[in-house]
Chains A and B, each alone.
Chain A
Amino acid sequence: MGERSLQVVVRNPFNSVVESIVHRKFPHTELIKVLGTERDITALLAQYYQKDFSDGAIYQLLQRAPHESAARVFTLPQLLVLYGLAVVGLWLLTHHFWATLASIMLVLNLFFVVAIGFKLVLSVQGLKIRQQEHGRWETLIYKPQALPIYTVLVPVYNEPEVIPILIEALRKLDYPQEKLDVLLLLEEKDIVTLEASRAANPPGFVRFILIPDSQPKTKPKACNYGLAFARGEYLTIYDAEDIPDPDQLLKAVWAFKSGPPNLACVQAALNYFNREENFLTRMFTLEYSYWFDCLLPGLEAFQLPIPLGGTSNHFRTDLLRELGGWDPFNVTEDADLGIRASQRGYVVGVINSTTYEEANCQTKNWIRQRSRWIKGYMQTWLVHNRNPWRSIRKLGLKNWLGYQFFIGGTIVAFLSGPFLWLLYFYWLFTRGTWLVHLFPGWTLYISLICLLLGNALGIYLNMTAIFRRRYFRLLPYALLNPIYWQLHSMAAYMALWQLFTKPFYWEKTQHGLSKVKKQTV
């Protein structure tokens, strides 16, 4: 730029918007337009602002609202409360051993009764919502000029083999290509994926964003970095192995256009294309179908905070920026974002569209992935319980309780489950009389209700979603849920250990392990 001249790279030299902006800001300046592609502009932005964007991606939320960031795992008051509880617990155990254990048992069982009741109500409400919406969103197809630019963030790391399939899936999206803004978020040191991406020769609407190498190396950090480049009015995230329903973006646009102004995000359902591969993928499909087809619509119907799923969540970009993007220190940044949106008075909805993913088909890999999710839930629960009173004021009592049951309840259920099952089997095989002390009076009846009807209801509700999706062959597998729940508990203990040892460590899920081809969807 000279003293009286300014060089601007533009895609369309006939677009006068840039000219008017520059002349308003720098009057009497000569404008020299240089023709460039979107990719050139992106490269220039990255060249000059990489450090700012990178710092923003990591520290923006921490600087703006440190109490909302998971960068600090425990606060001092939380540690004091934990310490206090441990001291009181030990004192009670030494002075009133059986009474203390019986009380813990009673509280745990009461919690399970309430949690099951809560899930029953949510599931019934979720099931009541018709899946077949009258397709008013389809009218959007006929007005492509009225459609907004849609940004799609696709974080990819060390997955060169999925790139061609991913690009093919993006091509199939039922959305005008000139309105698509796909950002492939690649780690700058991940040369193999970068080369595979270039070799795939992606269409013009795809841009490569190279994420500078820095810690924490997490998906939310990559997404935050990508957010700085997003041009779309709306934005969504897909994982590399995702196969979204082609009409998903249109449905999301329709949901936003017909929704209330405070609708910040809509979540599409997630499901699996390799559901019949083995026991794990079947159980995973049962779980996801129940979660996304029953529970989330139930939460939406009662206007409770929705913990977002890992992908296929569609945002209003301006509101996402206002919220500060994702927390890069939280390993379930999506769940945390859903709660933060609720705290600011925004609502999260669900849309009737599915993205098919690859279900984890190896036990070790599954446990690692699940441990990250549960660790993220622990982080989220701790972050939003730093000042419970403030959380209640921001969320409202109903939402706060819903969040406690959904986030906190999940952790408690997985951590306590094995102990209860162990006690039951111990009694079954030994008929140990000392167990009578643990289940005095009412505790026995409540425990029996939990054991018999609670588990039965858990299994039944799990069946309902799969029935609605017409995956009939998976129905009997729901009976094996108690075994599957033990895997969750193993992951929960791994998560608890990591929360203290390496809280920000991102257990990367290995994809591409399935022998089932994506074309089977």
Chain B
Amino acid sequence: MVSARLKSKPSDRSSRTLAHRKQGAAVFMVGVVTVIGLTSLLMGLDWQGYTAQPIAFLGSKAMVAVQGPEPSFVATGYAFPPLLVYGSALMRSPVTLQVFSGALLVGLEIWQMGKLRVARFWQILWTMLILLHPAFGFMLLREPVWVITAVLLWIVLQLMWHLIEPDNELPVSFLIVLVGLTFSGLQLLRFEAWLGLVWLLVILWWLLLRETWQYRVAALFLVGTMNLFAIGTCLYLNWLATDDPLAFLYQPGSGLRLPGLDSFWVQAGVGEGILKAMSLIVQIAPIYGLLMVWLLWQTQSHVAVGLLLSLPMALMVITLWQGLYTPNLSQFGVYLALVPLLLGHLPSLQSWRKLLITLGLGISLLCSGWFLQQNQVIPDEIVLWRQLTRQALPELQSVQQFQQQAIEQREIAAYLFQAKQPQQHILLDDGLHFPMMYFLHYTEGLILPHQYEFQVALEHPEERVDFMVITGGDRPCAPKIESGVC
């Protein structure tokens, strides 16, 4: 509005513009440093022979989407999460996506920390404790899904917090519209969000209690519509690709459950799930629990704040309930990412409180380190942890097998890269060997299961195939590079 735009004095405006420019420059610098840092780290890990499974999966799907073989949509339409598969394809690489989303998250953390009314020393110390936390670090290095989930959850919580605060400057309708829009992004990222929508609507209903019931119903309708559109989009893509809207739930190459982790999936009922989720958070990110209790104690709106802070936990309970939980540390990075936001809502930060927060962050860091050292996570993360801390791999069968398979996949990919001639064909079971396709960096000449040719080639390999990489009986694709057939 014209009048609103011109209320402030010119001097106020110029000083604010200057402050914004300075802030913008600082954020840009943080972004640049993070992009360079993350890229170097990921490249360093790649040179040392480590590539995270989720990144390899997204990379292989993105390659099929862009390069084929046709009909590529049949192989990618049911892939989950669609947002990241097509995002990786658009950015040409999941690593680029990971680096930029990671930089966004780190920038958000630093920006929020910078707003805290404490000395710069504390801001830097707490930021370092968060960035060094293995869960946060692992999330940045290997899980684009959780990085973007953290960003979106951060935004949702921040917007909804404005609904609790009565003196907020932003119009309620604006906040509600953005909540709907942001949470719908989560629907294309995590399956848990589909069920979590119900929880979100319950929270929203509670936060809008001061409004008329018509307003509340309309708000839920609005938020629900955009989220249902997002869910509908996912179902429709599945239907287009496979004639079954729920194909992503069971197809082996869908990405909802990455292959090779069969023995690690955990399922629990709702009650058991709540207890397990709480126990895991206390073990890995106790700082989140501490801040949650603290905020509940300090606030006047106990129910509203309680409901709001329970949203990330509710998503974890749904993860356990749906059997989508594997013991990986990266997902707990989300809770660490929310810490600066929670700190920002604490009414005052006196010295003993600062010490308590530092202690909480320190304990969180040590607990997760201990958790990793005890090998209580998936092999992928154990390997990454040992590699980063320059320790020998433990003698666990699952870890040894995982590492062996990773080395073999790289070796076979390297061999094929050199040996394959332009007109030759490789038959590849991409459901299990997606990392190999990612290492190959091309899809030309590949025969994949979604193609009609796959079955024909499998029946007459000597006529149609020059190389074959398939799952062989009870052995994990033992490479026998003999006469060009693996």
B-binding residues in A (CB < 8 A): 124, 127-131, 133, 136-137, 251, 254-255, 258-260, 263, 266, 297, 300-301, 349-352, 441-442, 444-445, 448-449, 452-453, 456, 459-460, 463-464, 467-468, 470, 472, 475-476, 479
The answer to whether B4 and A133 touch across the interface, beta carbons within 8 angstroms, is yes
What is the bound-complex CA distance between A301 and B4, given in angstroms? 11
Asked if B270 is at the interface of the complex by the 8 Å CB criterion, the answer is: no
User: Taking the complex as formed, is B124 at the interface, i.e. its CB lies under 8 A from any CB of chain A?
Assistant: no
Q: Is B222 an interface residue (CB 8 A)?
A: yes
For A301, the closest partner residue in chain B by CB is B5
Q: Which of B46-77 contact A (CB under 8 A)?
A: 65-66, 72-73
Smallest CB–CB gap between B97 and chain A, Å? Answer: 15
Q: Residue B325 at the A interface, CB < 8 A?
A: no
Whether B177 lies near A444 (C-beta < 8 A) is no
> Which 7 pairs of residues, A with B, have the shortest CB-CB distance?
A456-B229, A349-B2, A472-B218, A468-B173, A255-B2, A452-B233, A127-B174
- Other than the given A460-B229, A463-B225, A467-B218, 15 more pairs (CB < 8 A) read A124-B177, A127-B174, A128-B174, A129-B1, A131-B171, A136-B3, A258-B2, A301-B5, A445-B89, A453-B233, A463-B222, A464-B173, A464-B222, A467-B176, A472-B215
> A470 contacts B215, CB within 8 Å?
yes
Report if B181 contacts A (CB, 8 A).
Answer: yes
Instruction: Tell me, in angstroms, the Cα distance from A349 to B217 when the chains sit together.
Output: 34
Task: Report the minimal beta-carbon distance from A391 to chain B, rounded to whole angstroms.
Answer: 25
B214 at the interface (CB under 8 A from A): yes
Indicate the size class of the contact surface on chain B.
35 or more
Closest to A126 in B: B174
B338 part of interface (Cβ distance < 8 Å): no
Determine the distance from Cα of A131 to Cα of B170 in the docked complex, in whole angstroms: 10
Question: Are A475 and B221 interface neighbours, CB within 8 A?
Answer: yes
CB–CB A467/B233 < 8 A: no
Q: Most chain-A Cβ atoms within 10 A of its Cβ — which of B170, B173, B180, B230? A: B173
Complex CA gap A363/B130 in Å reads 61
Task: Select the residue from A136, A297, A456, A459 with max chain B CB neighbours within 10 A.
Answer: A456
Are the C-beta atoms of A263 and B2 separated by less than 8 Å? yes
Indicate the member of B1, B214, B237 with the most A CB atoms within 10 Å: B1
Hey, which chain A residues are within 8 Å of B170, CB to CB? 128
- Check A448–B4 contact: CB distance below 8 A: no
A470 to B177, CA, bound (A): 13
Bound form: Cα–Cα A129–B173 in Å: 11
Distance in Å: Cβ of A433 to nearest Cβ of chain B: 11
Contact across chains for B66 and A258 when beta carbons are under 8 A apart: no
B219 within 8 Å of A (CB atoms):
yes
Q: Which residue of B lies closest to A137 (CB)?
A: B3
Are B226 and A456 in contact (CB-based, < 8 A)?
yes
**Which DSSP category, helix, strand, loop or mixed, fits chain A's interface?**
helix
A460 to B173, CA, bound (A): 13
27 A-B contact pairs sorted by A residue (CB < 8 Å) = A127-B177, A128-B170, A130-B1, A131-B171, A133-B4, A136-B3, A137-B3, A259-B2, A266-B2, A350-B2, A351-B2, A441-B72, A445-B86, A456-B226, A459-B225, A460-B177, A460-B181, A460-B226, A463-B222, A463-B225, A467-B218, A467-B219, A472-B215, A475-B221, A475-B222, A476-B221, A479-B225
**A130 and B89 form a contact (CB under 8 A):** no
Contact check, B214 vs A472: say whether CB atoms are below 8 A apart: yes
A133 vs B171: C-alpha distance when bound (angstroms): 12
A468 to B171, alpha carbons, bound, how many Å? 9
Q: Give every chain A residue within 8 A of B86 (Cβ-Cβ).
A: 445, 449
Assess whether B225 is in contact with A460, with CB atoms less than 8 Å apart.
Answer: yes
> Is A297 in contact with B1, judged by CB distance below 8 angstroms?
yes
A19 CA / B236 CA spacing, docked (Å): 80
Partner of B230, one of A137, A456, A479: A456
Q: Which of B1-43 contact A (CB under 8 A)?
A: 1-7
**Residues of B close to A475: CB separation below 8 A:** 218, 221-222
When chains A and B are docked, how far (Å) is the Cα of A351 from the Cα of B1? Answer: 6
How far apart are A293's CB and chain B's nearest CB, in angstroms?
A: 10
- Cα distance A129–B4 when bound, in Å? 9
Residues 208 to 228 of chain B near chain A (Cβ within 8 Å): 214-215, 217-219, 221-222, 225-226
Beyond A297-B1, A352-B1, A445-B86, whether A258 also contacts B6 by CB under 8 A is: yes
**Shortest Cβ distance from B228 into A: residue:** A456
**Which residues 182-212 of B sit at the A interface, judged by CB distance below 8 A?**
none
| Residue B178 is within 8 A (CB to CB) of chain A in the complex | yes
Which residues from chain A contact B236 at a C-beta distance below 8 Å? 452
A349 to B240, CA, bound (A): 46
Closest chain B CB from A326 CB (angstroms):
22
| A294: nearest chain-B partner, CB-CB | B177
- Given contacts A127-B174, A467-B177, A467-B222, whether A441 and B3 have CB atoms under 8 Å apart is no
Residues of B within 8 A of A127 (CB): 171, 173-174, 177
How many angstroms between the C-alpha atoms of A448 and B176 in the bound complex? 27
What residues on B are CB-neighbors of A349 within 8 Å? 1-2, 5
**How far apart are the CA atoms of A448 and B229 in the complex, in Å?**
13
Bound state CA distance, A286 and B65, in angstroms? 38
Q: Which residue of A lies closest to B240 (CB)?
A: A448
| 0/1 interface trace, chain B 430-457, chain A, CB 8 Å (1 if under) | 0000000000000000000000000000
In the assembled complex, the CB of A268 is this many whole angstroms from the nearest CB of chain B, namely 11
> Among the listed B3, B73, B214, which residue makes an inter-chain contact with A444, where contact means beta carbons less than 8 Å apart?
B73
Question: Residues of B contacting A468 with CB < 8 Å?
Answer: 171, 173
Residues of chain B lying within 8 A (CB to CB) of residue A254: 3
Query: CB-CB < 8 A to B177: which residues of A?
Result: 124, 127, 460, 464, 467
The reply to whether B176 and A260 form a contact with Cβ atoms under 8 Å apart is no
List residues of chain B with CB within 8 A of the CB of A263: 2
- How many angstroms between the C-alpha atoms of A87 and B172 in the bound complex? 54
> What is the minimal beta-carbon distance from A295 to any residue of chain B, in angstroms?
14
Q: How far is the CA of A463 from the CA of B226 in the complex (A)?
A: 10
Give chain A residues whose Cβ lies under 8 Å from the Cβ of B214.
472
Closest chain A residue to B226, Cβ basis? A460
CA gap between A301 and B83 in the complex, in Å = 30
Q: Which of A266, A444, A445 has the most CB of B within 10 A?
A: A445
C-alpha gap A259/B1 in the complex (Å): 10
Chain A residues near B176 (CB, 8 Å)? 467
Q: Are A255 and B3 in touch, CB under 8 angstroms?
A: yes
**In whole Å, how far is B185's beta carbon from the nearest beta carbon of chain A?**
10
Q: Within 8 Å CB of A351, what residues of B? A: 1-3
**Complex interface: chain B residues within 8 A of A128 (CB):** 170-171, 174
A222 to chain B, nearest CB (A): 28
Are A460 and B73 in contact, with the CB atoms below 8 A? Answer: no
Q: Which of B66, B171, B237 contacts A448 (CB 8 A)?
A: B237
B216 to chain A, nearest CB (A): 10
Question: Are B3 and A258 interface neighbours, CB within 8 A?
Answer: yes
Residues of A within 8 A of B225 (CB): 459-460, 463, 479
Q: Which residues of A contact B180 (CB under 8 A)?
A: 460
B285 to chain A, nearest CB (A): 32
B222→A133 contact, CB < 8 A = no
Contacts of A300 in B (CB 8 A): 1-2, 5
Q: How far is the CB of B152 from chain A (nearest CB, A)?
A: 15
- Does A133 contact B1, Cβ atoms closer than 8 Å? yes
- What residues on A are CB-neighbors of B218 within 8 Å? 467, 470, 472, 475
- Which residues of chain A come closer than 8 Å to B230, judged between CB atoms? 453, 456
Q: How far is the CB of A35 from chain B (nearest CB, A)?
A: 41
Set of chain A residues within 8 Å of B226, measured between Cβ atoms = 456, 460
Over the window 75-87 of chain B, the binary record of Cβ atoms lying under 8 Å from chain A Cβ atoms (1 yes, 0 no) is: 0000000000010
Question: Contact check: which of A124, A130, A456 meets B4 at CB < 8 Å?
Answer: A130
Query: What's the Cα separation between A124 and B3 when bound, in Å?
Result: 19
Report A443 CB to chain B, min CB distance, Å: 11
Chain A residues closer than 8 Å to B7, beta-carbon distance? 258
Within the complex, what minimum Cβ distance (angstroms) separates A98 from chain B?
Answer: 15
